[in-house]
Amino acid sequence: MDNVAPRPRSNASTAVQARRSAEVVDPWLVQADFYHGYLPREDIVYLLKRHGDFIVRTSEVETDMEARKKETVVSVLMDPEGKFDEMPSGEGRQCMVRNVILFHKNLRFYFEHTVTFEFLRDLFHYYSSHAVRINNADIVLKRGVGLAKWELQHKHVTTGKLLGQGAFGEVRKGTLLRSSGRSVPVAVKTLRLEQEISKAKIKEMMQEARLMRELKHPNVVRMYGVALLELPLYIVLEYVAGGALDSYLRKNKNVDRDERLLMTMEAAWGMEYLHKCNILHRDIAARNCLYDTDKVVKISDFGLSRQGVVDWLEKYTGLALDFVEQKSMAQGVSQAKSRKSCTTRSRTYSAEVSQALPKPRRRGQK
């Protein structure tokens, strides 16, 4: 079986992971190349390529008592006819991935009660040549798949000064050790600790990361990757030293017209790029733009963003209504390639050039 060798990692890091997930993840598995931590199922299809490819991850599973517990899950691609590449991305490919719970009871590991193992290494070696029958399918674990470029190890990320915090967790200044051996300054966005973490929160976090994964533009904040192997989970982003644009505008009341126009142009260039990538930001505002020390605007915060050119706004939960176009609110639609796109940019323009909200609020209005 390929890729069974353990991934090099410090003893201290391994001890922390084993302590945090002692009831769920075996220390040997934590160090295995094919262990991907809290990776959600939506991202599995980007890693598996051939029949029998598999990864191991930690996931929240509903029990018979409607309770939730974390389990170790083996996700394996079932594609004996080689049709995976012909399938449309998304749910079509997800249907070809089987998810099998890896049980650990009475000091034994197993998929099926009739075949148990004392050591996980023996289990994976056995099922590399023997099939386990799950839901009328014979599953063989042929090739363990390692981390993608965007999957980072916690030991390569250090965190320091607190930059901000919110309902999701917090953002800290840090450094990332790249594969080249060079360290770069980063902003590290974290989810809250284990007692508050849930499958839904991880899915929401990874949806944001998935949208940002391939974005490369001078007016859009870059994402280096995610760290999912242990808790807390990280989204590692480009560090922009100047901070949020709205803070800059509040501190600098007399920004000249040329600088304000350049701010607006750079925000528009960033939005134009996102729309070419079929991404709707849905929350564009000065507070969600960063302003670097060399006076470059960068679009950030993709927590409410969606893939596509049209998005129906069934609910306005989380959206800043000051920046939602009135016609979109009436029709319940957000659209990238239409007159609404220009209106969205003009609202950003009004906020940056006039340094005021696009729609004045009445007293007591939220």
pLDDT digits (tens, 9 = 90+) for 99-128: 999 999 999 999 999 999 999 999 999 999
- The token pair at 209 is 């990361």
Its pTM stands at 0.77
Domains of the chain (ranges, CATH numbers): 11-144 (3.30.505.10), 151-238 (3.30.200.20), 245-353 (1.10.510.10)
* Residue-wise DSSP of 293-362: TTS-EEE---TT-EESSEEE-S--TT--GGGS-HHHHHHTEEESSSHHHHHHHHHHHHHHHS-S-SSPPP
Q: Exposure string (b/e) for 73-89, b if CB count within 10 Å is 16 or more?
A: bbbbbbbeeeebeeeee
Q: Per residue in 170-197, pLDDT tens?
A: 999 999 999 999 999 999 999 766 555 7
Q: Give the other-Cβ count within 10 Å of 15's Cβ.
A: 11
Q: Per residue in 294-318, pLDDT tens?
A: 999 999 999 888 887 665 555 545 5
Q: Chain-wide mean pLDDT for the chain?
A: 81
pLDDT at 168: 73
The whole-number average pLDDT for the span 66-74 is 79
pLDDT at 210: 93
Catalytic, 122? Answer no
Q: List the single range of 18-32, 254-268, 286-300, 318-332 with lowest mean pLDDT.
A: 318-332
pLDDT at 306: 85
Please pick, among 283, 292, 301, 322, the residue that the annotation labels catalytic.
283
**In angstroms, rounded to a whole number, what is the distance separating the alpha carbons of residues 112 and 139?**
12
> 189: annotated binding-site residue?
yes
